[in-house]
Structure formats: structure tokens, C-alpha cells
Structure 1
Amino acid sequence: MKRLVLIFLMLAAPVWAVQPDEVLSDPQLEARARELSKELRCLVCRNESIDDSNADIARDLRLLVRERLVGGDSDAQVMDFIVARYGEYVLLKPQTGGSNLVLWAAGPGMLLLALGVGGMYLRRRARVSKSADKGLTEQEKARLKEILKD
């Protein structure tokens, strides 16, 4: 029973990430802030949104998002501001264009390269094994007999 309670408490931990003093009085602005917070990565935690993180920097980022929204910024302006300040690493879903295109294409490109190299290796190996099955030529057999006589 104690384990079950502990499991439920651990699953509910992200609910406590956003502190009551951070919540905006306007429900629409709060909903926008929560949506934006789910798209931003905590700079301390690995692959955890700032909405789920209890880290101090995540709290600062949540407050920054709310400040910008209260100031009248659109969602895109808030995201642009935070990306300009912290870099694209802060995005949980990075953009697929520009210099990131190289990173997105590198994985599949390396896989195709490895498949090509593996295919060439197997093809060469098959050719070598066919030529090895022919056996010795008459000259090689004669030379072998000569060596064995000595």
C-alpha cells in the first residue's frame, strides 16, 4: 500500500511544478502560458518541459513567459524572445529548417552510408569466395609437390 501511494505521488510531482504564486488571474493568459511552457525545455533537466520541472531556472522561465504575455506579446513573440536569449536548445521540438536541417539529415544519411558500405563489403566477399572455390591451378599443384618433396 505504501508503494502504491509513493508511485501516485511520484506521478503527480509535475502537477506541483507550477507554483500558486505563478498562476495568472486571467484564465486565457494562463492557458496560453501553460501551452508555451510545455514547448520549452528546462535548461537543467533532460527533456523535461519547464511546465513539469521544479528547477529554479524553470520557474524563472515560467515567470518570464507570463511577464511577456501580460505585457501584450503574442505567443510567437514570446517564443522568439526566449529562443534569442537562450538559443534553440530551449525548444523541445527544434525547428527543421536552416542549420538544423544538417542535424536532421545526418542520422538518415549515416544510415544510408552504412548500408551502402555494408552492401559493398558483402558483394566483394561473395566474389572472393567464388574465386577461392576454384582450387589450385596445375602450376600451383606442381610447385606444392616440389616443396613437399624437399
Structure 2
Amino acid sequence: MPKVILSLLLSLLFVAAPVLAEGLKEDPLHREMLDIAEDLRCAVCQNQPISESNSELARDMRTIIREKLEAGESRDQIVQYFVDRYGNYVLMKPPYTGTGTALWLLPTIFLVLALGVAVFYLRSRLKGEQVEAETAVVTEEERERIRALRKGDE
């Protein structure tokens, strides 16, 4: 008999669980607040969105987002509020600017220029050695002198 009662209670629990879960629906403002918080960087953490950070500043920022959503502000207005206070650093994906492009391209440009200079230098150096090798003709008199020097060393 106790097994039957236990089975009935468990069956009732499995049937009632989805019905009870309906009452625990998530607040839509909370979801929207988390979506915005995922796009904002915590100013005191290392490259962590405020949605994942446990710092006091991140909690305060999430509270501000929630308050602004309740006041009816749009996502863009809220993001702009934080950009005005912290600059583009607060954005997890900052906007594309020309300054950033220059910073990425300058090292590449310098590397290409350095390789070009190295290739030009090596080519001119090799050409110079070939010219010297072609013009370096040893006369018979110089050969005799070399032989004499070698005999003196022995």
C-alpha cells in the first residue's frame, strides 16, 4: 500500500510540475536587462560583461539598466548613457573607427617596408660580389708572389 501511495504522489508531482513552473515565468525586463548587460564591459573587471561580473560596480550598472528600462528608455538610450560616462571602452564590441585601423595596419606596413629594404640590400650586395669576382683576375706576377709566400710558411 505505501508503494502505491508513493507512486501516486510521484505521478502527481510529474503532472503538476509543468503547471507550477508556468507561475515562475521570468520577468521580461530582467531578460532585456541581461541582454543589454551582455553588451557592456565591466570597468573594473578584465574583459568581462557586467551580466557575468559579481563586482559592486557591475551590480550597480545592472540596477541602473533595470531602472532605465522601467522608466521606458530604449536599449540605445541606455547604452549611450554608459558610453557617455565610460567612453567606448564600456562596449564589448566598440564601433569601428579609422584610428583603430591605422593601429592595426602600421606594424604590417613597417614589416613590408623592412622586408623590401632587406631584399633590395641583399640584391645589391650580391650584384657587387659578382662584379668583383668577374674583375678579380690574378696576374702571373701575383701568382708567383703567392707561391713564394706559401713556401716561406712551410
Report the TM-score, using the length of structure 2 for normalisation: 0.66
Q: Distance in 2 between matches of 1:70 and 1:26?
A: 15
Q: Distance in 2 between matches of 1:42 and 1:56?
A: 10
> Number of paired residues?
119
Per the TM alignment, residue 26 of structure 1 is displaced from its structure 2 partner at its CA by 6.9
Per the TM alignment, residue 123 of structure 1 is displaced from its structure 2 partner at its CA by 2.4
- Amino acid of the structure 1 residue aligned with 2:115: G
Larger radius of gyration: 2
CA RMSD, aligned part only? 2.7
Per the TM alignment, residue 109 of structure 1 is displaced from its structure 2 partner at its CA by 3.3
Q: Secondary structure at the match of 1:133?
A: helix
Q: Distance in 2 between matches of 1:26 and 1:80?
A: 26
Aligned to 1:60: 60
User: Which of 124, 130, 136 is the matching residue for 2:121?
Assistant: 124
More helix by share: 2
- Amino acid of the structure 2 residue aligned with 1:126: R
Report the TM-score, using the length of structure 1 for normalisation: 0.67
Per the TM alignment, residue 138 of structure 1 is displaced from its structure 2 partner at its CA by 5.5
Aligned to 1:84: 84
Aligned to 1:18: none
Gaps of 5+ in 2: 1-24, 149-154
**Aligned ranges for residues 1-150 of structure 1 at < 5 Å?**
27-97=27-97, 101-134=98-131, 135=133, 137=135
Q: Distance in 2 between matches of 1:88 and 1:37?
A: 15
Q: Secondary structure at the match of 2:89?
A: helix
Q: Distance in 2 between matches of 1:104 and 1:30?
A: 37
Gaps of 5+ in 1: 1-24
